[in-house]
Amino acid sequence: MTSLSQRLLGWVERTGNRLPDPAVHFLIAMILTWVLSALLGNVEFGEIDPRTGEPLRIINQLTGEAVTAFLSTLVTSYVGFPPLGVVLVMVLGVGIAEHSGLVGAGLKGMLDLAPRRLLTPMLAVVSIASHTVADAAMVAVVPLGGTLYYAAGRHPLAGLVTAFCGIGGAFAANFLPSGLDPLLQGFTEQAAQILDPAVRVNPLCNWGYMVFCSVLVVLATWWVTDRVIEPRLASVAVDGDPEQLPKVHPLSGRERRALWLTLGVVLAMSVALVFVILPSDSSWRAEDGGLTSPDAPIMRAIIPLLFLFAAVPGIVYGYAAGAFKTHKDVIEGMSRAMSSMGYYMVLVFFAAIFTQSFADSNLGALLALKGAAFLKTLGLPAFVTILGIIFLTAGLNLLVGSASAKWAMLAPILVPMLMAVGISPELTQMAYRIGDSPTNVITPLLPYFPLLVAFATRYVKGTGIGTLISLTLPYSVVYLVVMVLSLAFYWGLGLPLGIQAGYYYP
């Protein structure tokens, strides 16, 4: 790593650490939203809101009616904030597994099998594969990354950011289909039918490129972590509370037997799950028989299933290894896990009320539509236009976090526009997904960024938002470069973009 880049990241870290607490960031953003909505509330912009078909208007959030609605829905905005329930339920299950010793024993067993130098690619593969379970991976995999590195004698912050960036920054890469595929496909097909009612878009229209990209992202993650991040962390001391840090000790005979028993339980649970979802008339399937549709019960039950796959093995291991004597030990594990989430729950409160105000104001919709309209007027060559979409999305992603919400606003404009110049809906969707991924990990407005802060402070007490952004920024830049170049290479070879998908229309 050059001295120039080291100085740049150092500046990012120092500047970021001078910023207020992330909770205050959300509060400031909410106040700015209110002020801008009041200033722009009477302005006619001329854009048509694709969600309603009516002219888009900014809704003044400082009127008596808006303030009343804000206060009357504040509690439901907080408790209904989507990431909150996911995090808390997953933490309960992971808390049992951690308190029982299963997490430490499992990681120790992995360390016995994987050389220390291969931890990074192994964690990168796990992080990318976990895209299948979407946001739950942030809760289940990120803390395990820190624990894994700490147990191996490597810096735990490197493990945390490797997992965090592999999940949040590389979302355009995936070995397996996920619920996001049919979710985005629905918006893409609907938008394409504005121009051609006969167009159909396959939910797995991007899968071919995403598998190819996954291999390159694993290699890129390996390089960034080992060559950029860990050298930067070499002088950062781990000064967390020893009682809160994972313990590293050799596995005893009883622990090994308990680990094998737990592995058998996990395999039995997996076989049972496969057995109940395979029949074509399974109640776990959607009405059309699909398993990956957002409406499929199996997709809706992902979080409870992950809770069970953490809690049940944790309980089995705890009793088998002697860590659990009574049911009170299980409850204690859940209680300890929840007690560590106090800071996160405070941050979520401010994140939730800001998100609600931003959505109600329509400022996010205006930004998306203005950016898309400007892109439409440029009339650039195909690949340059695709680059424009990627960078437009990457910029908007710093302000509007939800992938589906942004695509719901952008697809009705971008998809027909690019079809008119010969670019397929599937390629437009892939460009959007590429832009929507890398900048996730450098914006504190990502709902799971506060969770990363909470995990990091367990190991290094003084970890600030600037420190973490300086660690995630190299991944963001490298991922964006790798994804753009790999798309150009993949497109140039004419390889299948996905199932029933091409690059050009018609």
Amino acid residing at 175: F
38-47, 172-181, 349-358, 481-490 — most confident range: 481-490
- pLDDT single digits (tens) 39-81: 998 888 877 776 677 888 899 999 999 999 999 999 998 988 7
Q: What are phi and psi of 13, to 5 degrees?
A: -65, -50
- Confidence check: pLDDT of 1 > 50: no
d(CA 289, CA 280): 6
Beta carbons of 416 and 195 less than 8 angstroms apart: yes
Q: Which of 166-170, 301-305, 310-314 has the lowest mean pLDDT?
A: 301-305
- pLDDT single digits (tens) 340-377: 778 778 878 887 888 788 878 888 667 666 766 676 67
Percent of the chain with pLDDT over 70: 84
Helix (H) or strand (E) holding 469: helix 465-493
d(CA 217, CA 214): 5
- Confidence check: pLDDT of 229 > 70: yes
pTM, full prediction: 0.68
Beta carbons of 503 and 422 less than 8 angstroms apart: no
What are the residue ranges of helices labelled H in 130-252?
A: 136-140, 142-151, 156-168, 180-192, 207-224, 230-233
- pLDDT single digits (tens) 238-250: 887 655 665 556 6
Q: What is the chain's percent helix, strand, coil content, to nearest 5? A: 70, 0, 30
For residue 374, what are the contacts with CB-CB under 8 A and spacing of at least 6? none
Mean pLDDT for the stretch of residues 277-300: 79
Strand partners, 48: 55
Quick one: tokens of 502?
A: 């091409």
d(CA 14, CA 436): 27
Helix (H) or strand (E) holding 305: helix 302-321
- Confidence check: pLDDT of 184 > 90: no
Q: Sorting pLDDT into bands at 50, 70 and 90, what band is 409?
A: low
Amino acid residing at 130: S
Of residues 117, 109, 355, 365, the one with CA closest to residue 249: 109
